[in-house]
Structure 1
Amino acid sequence: MANGAEGAGEKVKTERFVSFDGTELALHRVGEGQAFVLLHGLFSSADMNWIKWGHAERIAAAGYEVLMLDFRVHGQSEAPHDPEKYPENVLVRDVAALVDHLALEDYVLGGFSLGARTSLHAVAQGVLHPQRLVIGGMGTAGLGEWSKRSAHFLRVIDEFETIERGDPAYFSMQFLKSQGVDRVAARMLLTTLPDMDLAALANITIPSLVVCGDEDRDNGSAAELAGLLPDATYVEVPGTHMSSVTKPDLGRAIADWLKETAGI
């Protein structure tokens, strides 16, 4: 089941597959070459993070087939209301289901914010074994202190109709509204994301890119995160957590690093 969605240039093909528990998820593909599984941020989508601003096209031009999953409760994927559909680390299991579905062996894995966090959990736990790793918009606090970040979004969901302009949660509320997020499903999803023991980062020995906006402090220190990874390159690009994904520098930084490390 496929249709076409236009990115900045090359056509993005959208299809669906069934994850480990029967939930139907959307997958967007563009380009040819080595597979790059690329994951979006919390309450965003593949289109909002990667397609709309041309990043997927830039990465594809570097010689990759970019495989962009819409997480459950996001984008064009299903948002089930059954609590049994939300076991711990369900997003890691969904990405593993995608890798199995496509029978990927030699691939790159990466993402922005929630997508980066999911990628790190998957590799640190030995669930997935990509060749290289790309981590965008993520720092140590977004891993080791996720419960604090999650509490912010739980409040946004619980107080959604009463949050007023000037409240620190107002912008987040407006973003959820703009994305049409199913708040019942979103609340269940937030409870599936555990904190990470930062010592587990030592398990990630593959070449990794940590790329973050120079004004992005939403998830703590990205430079500190890079320092905890055994084989990481740290790159700053312009922008805050929200604006860095709208600028071409992010896609260029990823594409450039992929070219530099292609022989590894």
Structure 2
Amino acid sequence: MLKSYVALLPLALLALVGCSDDPEASFEPKDRWFTNRDGLKLHYLEFEGRGSPVVMLHGLLGSAHPSWVAPGIAGALAKQGHRLIILDQRGHGQSDRPYTASSYGEPMVLDVLELMDTLGIERAHLVGYSMGAAMTRVLMTRAPERVISASLGGAGVEELDPVIRAEAEARDPKGTDPDEQRILDEIAGDPPPDPRFVAAITEAWTAWWPPSIDLPSLRVPVQAVNGEFDAPYSKTVRLERELAGFENVIIPGRTHLTTLIDSRYVDSLVDFIQRNDER
């Protein structure tokens, strides 16, 4: 299943702007660190808004700044006054990188909860993209009492019924986005990822994923945002059927790689969080 959560690569885009509800919010992130229960030093960025917390989780081979800050997504939420916690998940960015498979998968879930505990955050909006969305769906069902709302970007939940799955897959549009090739061309000369790390996290996620999930009992507001050309129906048909109040957003003309850079993704995310806020 790991291949379903492809790497999010550094993207340079114009930041989105909006009206601030908190004039004292900082729109520049501060570098922070914490040492977890395994002795790993994990890096995160913090925007110090006074509003409700938002914890943001990047995709495989991504990291906090290029995934969330550079495209303007974090800035759009910071301008609404939110306190943002943007984690470099273990093995990524400036966080420590263990090389054993047992260090990934389930331990990554515990890192998020431990970081929230360390910062005194009882409840937060969770925002994830790709692998980060996979983490978000585990957290929202494992610890729903810690989650105000959950946004799954570039992801969903596997349909178990083969007939329903086949029908949904037949509805998934096929197409390409010219922006994807432009992005791939821009990063073509980047160094390849650490092969020892890739081997370890691939082994871990292949063995761990997908964990069981009980959707009908979940009372957390959930949104999925997928590109038109990123299997938007087969990823969400089970969510539509089993989860009351589920919101499904499809971004026209976008792929897995390019949905994250689209202003419509940011707009839908900001709107969803604002409507489900509890401050």
Q: TM-score range by the shorter chain?
A: 0.7 to 0.9
Shift in Å, 1:191:
2.6
Q: Percent identity?
A: 25
Give the whole-Å Cα distance in 1 for the aligned partners of 2:188 and 2:36.
24
- Which residue is equivalent to 2:194? 182
- Which residue is equivalent to 1:54? 72
- The within-5 A match list for 1:70-109 is 70-82=88-100, 85-86=103-104, 88-109=105-126
- The within-5 A match list for 1:223-262 is 223-238=237-252, 239-262=254-277
Shift in Å, 1:199:
4.7
Contact 1:143–1:196, Cα closer than 8 Å, also in 2: no
Contact 2:32–2:44, Cα closer than 8 Å, also in 1: yes
- Which residue is equivalent to 1:167? none
Deviations 1:227-258 (A, max 9, x none): 43333111122410001112222111100111
Q: 1:25 to 1:66 in 2, by over 3 A?
A: same
Secondary structure at the aligned position of 1:17 is classed as strand
TM-score where L is the length of structure 1:
0.76
One of 127, 132, 136 as aligned partner of 2:153: 136
Deviations 1:2-39 (A, max 9, x none): xxxxx948311111111221111111112511110011
Secondary structure at the aligned position of 1:188 is classed as helix
Contact 2:125–2:273, Cα closer than 8 Å, also in 1: no
Deviations 1:53-72 (A, max 9, x none): 10001111222111110111
TM-score where L is the length of structure 2:
0.72
Give the whole-Å Cα distance in 2 for the aligned partners of 1:227 and 1:175.
39
Q: 1:93 to 1:180 in 2, by over 3 A?
A: farther
Q: How many residue pairs align between the two structures?
A: 230
Contact 1:92–1:121, Cα closer than 8 Å, also in 2: yes
Secondary structure at the aligned position of 1:235 is classed as strand
Contact 1:209–1:233, Cα closer than 8 Å, also in 2: yes
- Which residue is equivalent to 2:225? 211
Contact 1:23–1:78, Cα closer than 8 Å, also in 2: yes
CA RMSD of aligned residues (A): 3.1
Give the whole-Å Cα distance in 1 for the aligned partners of 2:55 and 2:160.
20
Deviations 1:167-192 (A, max 9, x none): xxxx99x9798375322123212233
Aligned amino acid, residue 212 of structure 1: N
Contact 2:100–2:200, Cα closer than 8 Å, also in 1: no
Aligned amino acid, residue 108 of structure 1: H
Deviations 1:177-229 (A, max 9, x none): 83753221232122333223565233432111111112212994235434433
Q: 1:233 to 1:128 in 2, by over 3 A?
A: same
Give the whole-Å Cα distance in 1 for the aligned partners of 2:110 and 2:119.
14
Q: Which runs of 5+ in 1 are unaligned?
A: 1-6, 145-170
Give the whole-Å Cα distance in 1 for the aligned partners of 2:188 and 2:71.
19
Contact 2:102–2:204, Cα closer than 8 Å, also in 1: no
Higher helix share: 1
Give the whole-Å Cα distance in 2 for the aligned partners of 1:101 and 1:80.
22
